[in-house]
Amino acid sequence: MSNSSAPDVPEVQLFTDGACSGNPGPGGWAFILRHLTSGKEKEASGAERETTNNRMELMGVIRGLQTLKRPVAVELVTDSTYVGRGLTEWMPKWKANGWRRREKGRWAEVKNEDLWRRLDTLIGRHRVRFTHVRGHSGHPENERCDKLAVAAYQKFLKK
């Protein structure tokens, strides 16, 4: 998952979340990027008219990592087990198998392969450590990202 050994001390924390109204349906992503030494933060969010929750979870991570201007040690904090397991367990196997996965004894496409490939390129530039937090458990940054992601897709809901 990283281009060297796991970072002992992250330089930045990247908090992310994705949300959907329906699955598929209108969806939003959000991130908060915090530089630990300076305490400076950047947050951003966006939305798509028709998407899935998993795609939005991935987009939050992708958009946050794209913001970084140089290689750094990153602690990625998210409530998405899909993102976490994808990064730590599944992606190395998918890559070894030509971006395919086993399903019912047969080779199948990797779902959201386009986003996983983008994420693979981005994490190759940084030293990324994944930290899972429970969603909707009062974690301040996770709650903030959820609010931003939901607010982002609200523009697509019919009034």
Q: What is the pLDDT of residues 10-58, one digit of tens each?
A: 799 999 999 999 999 999 999 999 999 999 999 999 999 999 999 999 9
Per-domain residue ranges of the chain: 12-156
Q: What is the pLDDT of residues 82-126, one digit of tens each?
A: 999 999 999 999 999 999 999 999 999 999 999 999 999 999 999
Residues 120, 2: Cα–Cα separation, whole Å: 10
For residue 107, with 0-12 CB atoms within 10 Å meaning exposed, 13-18 middle and 19 or more buried, which class applies? Answer: exposed
Positions marked catalytic: 17-18, 57, 79, 136, 146
For residue 1, is pLDDT > 60?
Answer: no
Q: What is the pTM of this model?
A: 0.92
b/e per residue 113-151 (b: at least 16 CB within 10 A): eebbebbbebbeebbbbbeebebeeebebbbebbebbbe
Residues 25, 145: Cα–Cα separation, whole Å: 19
The pLDDT value recorded for residue 159 is 59
- Identity of residue 56: M
The residue whose two tokens read 């009034």 is 159
Residues 6+ apart with CB under 8 A from 45: 28, 29, 30, 31, 148, 149, 151, 152
Domain spanning 12-156 has what CATH number?
A: 3.30.420.10
Mean pLDDT of 56-76: 97
Q: Count the residues in the chain.
A: 159
